[in-house]
Chains A and B, each alone.
Chain A
Amino acid sequence: MSEFGRLDSLVDHLATDLEPVRRLPAPSLRALAWFCLLPGLGLLLMPFADWHAMAERLHVPDLCVAAVGAVLTALCAAIAAFQTSVPGRSQVWALLPLPPLALWIGASSLGCLRAWIAPDSNIADGAEMRGCLYFLLGASLPLSVLIVLMLRRAAPMRPNLTAALAGLAAAGAAAALLVPFHPHDATASDLAMHAIAVGLIIGLNGLAGGRLLDRGVSGG
């Protein structure tokens, strides 16, 4: 009998009728699998996109850089989320999305100067900004649900951190998907609306996703 004799029955219970399990693929591969959903969703939405307007807007360097930053943030945050979902992996992975996030925020912040440096810009009105908010929240919802379900198969030891990273990945992906549908150029108010949407997505993921992930690990 072991030092913890009371647990012998638990060991027997767990070992009895043990089923073989399929090992999870490497976290980076799982992150890439989730990320592949992004072009898939983009293809689904393609018929509704205003490609001509998008091609014009992408000629503005900061908008192009912001779009690249959002895509890279989504990819790096997804990799970080899947890495931190495996026990024993370094939590330093959580820092991976910070450089592309800085690029995304930095390039987007140039929109604050748009009315000054590009007076001919197409400035958004209130209804268009609300449309952006709904698009970001709507697009991030399936992405968030899918990534949380995938993360639940592992065992995140810091569920809130992992879920917040998942939220950042979903927010970045939604912002990248928004580019072909963005009917106006970025401005300070537009940027603020995007920041609110991204903050909401990350916060909701951190709270709801964190609880879901914690229940998955602790069996609650």
Chain B
Amino acid sequence: MSFASTAFAGFGSDSYRPATKPLSIGLGASRVSGLERHGRSAIVLEETLSATMAAAQAGDAEAYRRLLRDCMPVIAAAARAKGARGDAVEDVVQETLLTMHRARASYDPARPFLPWLRAIAQRRTIDLLRCQSRRPKEVDDPIAYEAHADDGLPEAGQGLMTREREARLAQAIATLPKGQRQAVEQLGLRENSLAEASVLTGRSTGALKVNLHRALKTLRAALAQDRKDGHV
């Protein structure tokens, strides 16, 4: 793991401020020492990166390679702090490294390195997020609507309506005379043949046909009345 990765473990990029004054009042001893340790490591990181960048400006390729690798976690932290997630973080790191390379002459080693780096990283993050937000979403794509709008999935509220209709039908069937009710149950709901229904009910096939016909007429009238009343 690189030095920057170690120093920035638990550090948000935006929360970094070199701790130049001792921390004392209101903090426990272990908390104070922890913060001071982080502060010291951040200052060391700052000085290390600044010196490495100065060497890179002078043409030291190995220092430059080390600097770019050490900058990656810092850039990633800045990108995440600005709202980049997933692959976008890696894209920001890449774009920031490229901008760093082009703008390396603008860094003044007499000034802190991290604000210079963080400004570039934040700008590249904003550019990337803007670019992503400008891309058309699938939901705006008319082809997507045509391709996926009717995939056989039930519409919202469809299940509720179906259950209500079944309840009204069952209620109407229950009010039928016994012969008609048996004809509907055996022939309509259980889909038995006339012969099977005749055996099961002990009625002739002709009687079953007549009862089914009468039952359907009664049910149609009952459900039509319900529809008129707004129940179904």
Give the docked Cα–Cα distance between A89 and B108 (Å).
11
B103-139 interface code vs A (CB 8 A; 1 in, 0 out): 1111111011001111110110001000000000000
Q: With A7-B94, A11-B97 as known contacts, state yes or no: A21 contacts B104, CB within 8 Å.
A: yes
Whether A88 and B111, one on each chain, are in contact in the complex, defined by CB atoms closer than 8 angstroms, is yes
| CB atoms of B94 and A3 under 8 A apart | no
Select one of B61, B69, B115 contacting A88, CB under 8 A: B115
A116 within 8 A of B: no
Stretch with Cβ within 8 A of A (4 or more), from B51-59, B154-162, B216-224: B51-59
The one of B72, B102, B122, B127 in contact with A155, judged by C-beta atoms closer than 8 angstroms, is B102
| Size of the chain A interface, CB-CB below 8 angstroms | 34
- Nearest-CB distance from A212 to chain B (Å)? 14
Cβ-neighbour of A7 out of B62, B97, B105, B107 (below 8 A):
B97
**C-alpha spacing A87/B53, complex, angstroms:** 15
CA distance A104 to B30 in the complex (A): 58
A24 and B106 in contact, given A14-B97, A155-B120 (Cβ under 8 angstroms): yes
**A218, B99: Cβ atoms under 8 Å?**
yes
Tell me the smallest distance from the CB of A152 to a CB of chain B, in Å.
10
Judge whether B106 and A11 touch: CB under 8 Å.
Answer: no
On whether the beta carbons of A87 and B90 are closer than 8 Å, the reply is no
Residues of B within 8 A of A4 (CB): 72, 76, 90, 93-94
Across-interface contacts of B101 in A (CB, < 8 A): 14
* CB closest residue in chain B, given A16: B61
Number of A-B contacts (CB under 8 A): 105
Chain B residues near A86: list those with CB within 8 A.
106, 108, 116
Q: Would you give the shortest CB distance from B32 to chain A, in whole angstroms?
A: 30
A2→B69 contact, CB < 8 A: yes
Alpha-carbon distance A120/B105, docked complex (angstroms): 57
Given A23-B107, A154-B106, the answer on whether A88 and B72 have CB atoms closer than 8 Å is no
A1-57: which have CB < 8 Å to B?
A: 2-4, 6-7, 10-12, 14-24, 26
Q: Is the interface of A mostly helix, strand, loop or mixed?
A: loop
Residue of A nearest to B107 (CB): A23
A87 and B72 CA atoms in complex are apart in Å by 17
Interface set, chain A 170-212, CB cutoff 8 A to B? none
Q: How far is the CB of B225 from chain A (nearest CB, A)?
A: 70
Q: Is A157 an interface residue (CB 8 A)?
A: yes
Residue B232 is within 8 A (CB to CB) of chain A in the complex: no
Most chain A CB within a 10 A radius of its CB, from B56, B103, B115, B117: B103
Residue B65 is within 8 A (CB to CB) of chain A in the complex:
yes
Q: A213 → chain B, closest Cβ, in Å?
A: 12
- The docked-state distance in angstroms from the alpha carbon of A21 to that of B100 is 13
Is B106 a contact of A87 with CB atoms below 8 Å? yes
Residues of A within 8 A of B119 (CB): 87-89, 157
Contact between A154 and B102, CB atoms less than 8 A apart? no
Going nearest first, the 4 A-B pairs with the smallest beta carbon separation are A155-B103, A20-B59, A88-B115, A15-B65
Q: Hey, which bits of chain B sit against chain A, CB under 8 A?
A: 2, 5, 56-62, 64-65, 68-69, 72-73, 76, 90, 93-95, 97-99, 101-109, 111-112, 115-120, 122-123, 127
